[in-house]
Amino acid sequence: MRRFGLLSYVGPLLGLVLIAAGLFLNFRFTGEGADDGQTFTEQAKMADRFVDSVGLSTHLGSNLWNGTFDTIYMPRVKELGLRHIREDFGNHGQYLDALKKISDAGIKLDMIIARDAESQTHLPTINEALVEINTYLGMGIKLGSVEGPNEYNHPRLYWDNQPPPAEWPRWLFEFTRDFANSFRSDSRYQGIEIFSPTYINYGAGDLLKQQGPFADYVDYGNYHWYCNDYWSDNNPADLSNFCNYDQHYQAFAAPLYSGKTIIITENGIPSTDNVAGAPVEVQRILLSEDVAAKYTSRRLLELFNRGIKRTYLYQLYVAPDIPNNTLTYYMTLLKTDGAAKQPFTALKNLIALANDPGPQFTPATLTYRLAAPTTLKRVLMQKRDGQFLLFLWQEVDSTKSVTPVSATISFDNELMDVRSYNTVASTEPTYSGSGIGELAVGVGDSPVMLAFSPTPSSPGNDGSGAGSGSSGTNSNSSGNSATNQGSNKSSGTSSKQGNAAQPEPATVSDATNDPVVLPKNDPTSSPSNLEKVKGIGISLVIVGVLVLVSYAGSFMRASLWHGPV
């Protein structure tokens, strides 16, 4: 038999090395969060409409009786920057005075038609309801909307803890129809919207549907959606049914208001800073304040993105005499002494960052590339000055440890001024930079907001391809900041591109929500470079295979030619 020397193994070894190197390059740069991403061309939503999509149920009566309206209620409502509050109609003098103060502060009121315990239907007459509205308007109280009866089939709220009569669906439909016909025929009520009544229990919507076309007599469909155990039965990879939201919609909105824009007038999360110290009967449904802050922020962004016109959170705070073994005690933004809970701060930050009052405008369409796991959630907004706001977050169970994932955003033929914010924590930017073509950010379970707008022309960004560029600043959690010099990289070809100073890259786990600009020499820093790397990898695999095939052919020919020795 012919014997081969050591050099005869160089060929197959070289082929195997080339194949391994090629496979490494391909798999290394096509994994989750490191792929070349997806290009999105989408029209932004008006940022200020998000602010307008947030409301609050406040239970003003109890705040009046414990004497905290002027010391807690009004200061905190103004601090939030709220524009909508939901309350019950009432005619007590002190109550009306308080509503007038709220209205004078520029806050619109959604008023719920009151229960009438003396009537068979427990509903007021149409005339009684209109007289109450006229009283409010006569005092100069601004009404944004009038809401039908609240949870009309609820045994405790309407029927003295007894099951509602079988006629309740007919009574509710007839009241809704007759009220709308009278209300819409009076010019004094022009501009005041009608929210539908609400009801409880699955299957009730089908009973109401049999009575007639509810949708014809309301401007917006309305229902309540509570989800205390936010992730109890949801698959994080499929967000079409987060906490059974879609199932809830099908049961409480679709039967009556399919095709109508929806309002959610009650939604809230019970939270405390001491879950272990709460009564055992409520512990299992309580969340820590930090988790509730994340869920509240994410929920409002998600509902806004789904087209929900407004979501009213439940509630501002409760009186100290409310028992602490009830859910109501914990479903608040403030503690009983008025101190802010973390969800309050998170909500205040979101409103402040998106706030952009002014006339209506048509937001622009933006093309950008996002390389990130497909489960990452996003909402794109725009302000009137042209600034875009991109919110990113992981929709995951925040009661467990969450590892941030990498998201890379690049802009076609454009350099941007960019700032980043951890919205739950602060309205101060965690990063700011100028002349950015591409940005990598670690995204956790708190919404991160990227604010960006085109970098103005400058001597270093005038199309000559040369200049000193600009710097980026990354603020760490201790409040200190550091600026690191690097090189700018813009995705695609840009006549504006020059050399820019950017922070050095950080690993995702270093920054949680703080973005960093990728360096120019990182092969993952742009889709075009990434394609080149992948192309090199494929070429190496092909060459390696050819080397092996060539060697195998030579070996076969040599064996046949020389035969056995």
Q: Assess whether pLDDT exceeds 80 at residue 19.
A: no
Amino acid at 484: N
Residue 459 Cα to chain centre, angstroms: 38
CB distance 459 to 467 below 8 Å: yes
pLDDT at position 342: 98
Neighbouring C-beta atoms of residue 353, cutoff 10 Å? 21
Residue 53 counted as domain residue = no
User: Which domain does 174 fall in, by range?
Assistant: 85-220
Mean pLDDT, residues 527-554 taken together: 68
pLDDT at position 559: 56
Mean pLDDT, residues 364-373 taken together: 94
Q: Is residue 391 located within the same domain as residue 537? A: no
The domain tally of the chain equals 3
Residue 286 counted as domain residue = no
Q: Is residue 31 located within the same domain as residue 96? A: no
User: How much of the chain exceeds pLDDT 70, in percent?
Assistant: 75
Q: Is residue 446 located within the same domain as residue 369? A: yes
Residue 233 counted as domain residue = no
CB distance 85 to 119 below 8 Å: no
Reported as a single tens digit per residue, the pLDDT across 114-169 is 999 899 999 999 999 999 999 999 999 999 999 999 999 999 999 999 999 999 99
Neighbouring C-beta atoms of residue 135, cutoff 10 Å? 13
**What tokens does 518 get?**
């990728």
Q: 254-270 b/e with 16+ CB inside 10 Å = b?
A: bbbbeebebbbbbbbbb
Q: At what angle do helices 10-28 and 527-562 cross, to 10 degrees?
A: 160
Q: 282-305 b/e with 16+ CB inside 10 Å = b?
A: beeebbbbbbbbbbbbbbbbbbbb
Residue 300 counted as domain residue = no
Q: Is residue 536 located within the same domain as residue 518? A: no
Q: Is residue 377 located within the same domain as residue 511? A: yes
User: pLDDT category, 553, cuts 50, 70, 90?
Assistant: low
Distance between CA atoms of residues 253 and 499, nearest Å: 55
Reported as a single tens digit per residue, the pLDDT across 456-465 is 874 334 433 3
**What tokens does 547 get?**
């080397």
pLDDT at position 30: 46
Distance between CA atoms of residues 505 and 525, nearest Å: 10
Q: Where do the DSSP E strands lie in 258-399?
A: 262-267, 271-272, 287-288, 310-314, 365-371, 376-382, 388-394
pTM over 0.75: yes
Reported as a single tens digit per residue, the pLDDT across 432-441 is 999 999 999 9
pLDDT at position 363: 98
Phi and psi, residue 390, nearest 5°:
-115, 115
Q: Is residue 495 located within the same domain as residue 544? A: no
Closest listed residue to residue 100, CA positions, set 132, 138, 56, 63: 138
- Based on its alpha-carbon atoms, the radius of gyration of the chain, rounded to whole angstroms, reads 30
pLDDT at position 412: 78
Reported as a single tens digit per residue, the pLDDT across 321-360 is 889 999 899 999 999 999 999 999 999 999 999 999 999 9
Q: Greatest CA span in the chain, whole angstroms?
A: 116
User: How much of the chain exceeds pLDDT 90, in percent?
Assistant: 61
User: β-strand 193-195 against 221-224: which pairing, if any?
Assistant: unpaired
Reported as a single tens digit per residue, the pLDDT across 399-415 is 899 999 999 999 877 89
Reported as a single tens digit per residue, the pLDDT across 154-210 is 999 999 999 999 999 999 999 999 999 999 999 999 999 999 999 999 899 999 999
Q: Assess whether pLDDT exceeds 50 at residue 21.
A: yes
Mean pLDDT, residues 278-305 taken together: 93
Q: Is residue 380 located within the same domain as residue 497? A: yes
Distance between CA atoms of residues 511 and 473, nearest Å: 13
What mean pLDDT value characterizes the chain? 82
pLDDT at position 490: 33
User: pLDDT category, 94, cuts 50, 70, 90?
Assistant: very high
Residue 413 counted as domain residue = yes
